[in-house]
């Protein structure tokens, strides 16, 4: 029973990582931009949810508004700054988005302070399913798992079955060819970037009641997302899904078996996969 709980946690964490890393890997695959500020949007989502839930009193209200705001910030960021990076060396992309992280962190500190906040689990979901005499599983975590699954499935359909998804795939495999065939590349890029940011903010929003809303939360998760993208293969959504679940399992198992070294387990997994397939699980060499 104990291991069932851990397995559920691993899947839930893995799917949450997938929400984050799918945006990261798509933005890299399509636009060729490495976006360090991705983690900042996870933080933005969590803080907006905390703030909106406090002022409006309802998490159900806070999450959609928070996502809309994150989408708008993403759109603004792409059109003003990120757009200028597409043709630049990765080095400058790393550096500029590193600068954006500093700005996001400091604005967060000015607006919300440096305290750790919590978001209450909504009442509707605030109970646990008893599994044994003294073990129970919170329903909210199951809810998060379900939501992530729904988003993943919706994303699959959008990418594989719709016109917009076709453009995204076209842009992913050959940007110039897609542009020549009449795809409005600037608009597509702006929307994909903003959607990636909205997804990251969404992940932050639904994770807020489980984890605490704290300074630096975005940076920690960003690096794990990088590991996911490296393991899965850059630009591959399927790879990101598999890698996210792998990481979820490795991290949870690590925390159970050797708590001190759980932080290292994830990186050792990455090192092993790099030795075996340097181009990632899903990409062919």
**157 versus 261: smaller Cβ distance to another protein:** 261
Contact criterion met (CB below 8 Å) for 236 and 283: yes
Q: Is residue 221 near another protein by the rule CB under 8 A?
A: no
Size of the site for another protein (CB under 8 A): 42
For residue 58, the SS3 value is coil
* Nearer residue to another protein within complex by CB, 113 or 186: 113
Site string for another protein, 14-33 (x = CB under 8 A): --------------x-----
C-alpha span between 16 and 248 (Å, rounded): 9
Choose which of 6, 105, 143, 214 interacts with another protein (CB under 8 A): 105
Among 230, 237, 247, 281, binds another protein (CB under 8 A): 230
Question: 77-83 long-range CB contacts below 8 Å, 24 or more apart?
Answer: 77/37, 77/193, 77/197, 78/189, 78/190, 78/193, 78/194, 79/190, 82/31, 82/33, 82/35, 82/193, 83/186, 83/189, 83/190
Q: Does 107 bind another protein (CB under 8 A)?
A: yes
Please name the helix (run of DSSP H) or strand (run of DSSP E) that holds residue 74, with its range, or none: helix 59-80
The nearer residue to another protein, 62 or 85, going by C-beta atoms, is 85
* Closest distance of CB 46 from another protein, Å: 20
100 binds another protein (CB under 8 A): yes
| Residues in touch with another protein (CB under 8 A) | 28, 34, 81, 84-85, 88, 90-92, 94-96, 98-103, 105-107, 109-110, 219, 223, 226-227, 229-230, 234, 260-264, 267-268, 270-271, 274-275, 278
């Amino acid at each position: 029973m104990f291991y069932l709980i851990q397995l559920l946690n691993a899947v839930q964490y893995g799917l949450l990582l997938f929400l984050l890393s799918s945006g990261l890997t798509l933005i890299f695959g399509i636009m060729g931009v490495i976006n360090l500020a991705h983690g900042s949007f996870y933080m933005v989502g969590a803080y907006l949810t905390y703030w909106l839930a406090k002022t409006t009193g309802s998490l159900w209200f806070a999450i959609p508004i928070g996502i809309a705001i994150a989408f708008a910030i993403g759109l603004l960021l792409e059109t003003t700054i990120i757009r200028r990076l597409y043709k630049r060396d990765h080095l400058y992309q790393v550096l500029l988005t590193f600068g954006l992280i500093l700005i996001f962190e400091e604005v967060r500190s000015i607006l919300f302070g440096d305290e750790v906040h919590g978001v209450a689990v909504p009442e509707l979901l605030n109970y646990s399913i008893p599994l044994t005499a003294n073990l129970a599983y919170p329903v909210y975590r199951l809810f998060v798992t379900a939501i992530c699954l729904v988003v993943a499935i919706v994303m699959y359909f959008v990418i594989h079955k719709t016109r917009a998804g076709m453009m995204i795939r076209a842009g992913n495999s050959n940007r110039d060819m897609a542009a020549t065939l009449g795809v409005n590349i600037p608009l597509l890029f702006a929307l994909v970037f903003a959607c990636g940011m909205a997804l990251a903010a969404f992940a932050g929003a639904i994770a807020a009641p489980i984890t605490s809303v704290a300074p630096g939360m975005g940076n920690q998760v960003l690096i794990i997302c990088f590991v996911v993208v490296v393991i899965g293969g850059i630009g591959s959504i399927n790879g990101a899904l598999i890698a996210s679940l792998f990481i979820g399992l490795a991290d949870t198992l690590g925390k159970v078996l050797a708590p001190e070294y759980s932080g290292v387990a994830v990186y050792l997994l990455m090192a092993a996969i790099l030795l075996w397939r340097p181009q990632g699980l899903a990409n062919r060499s």
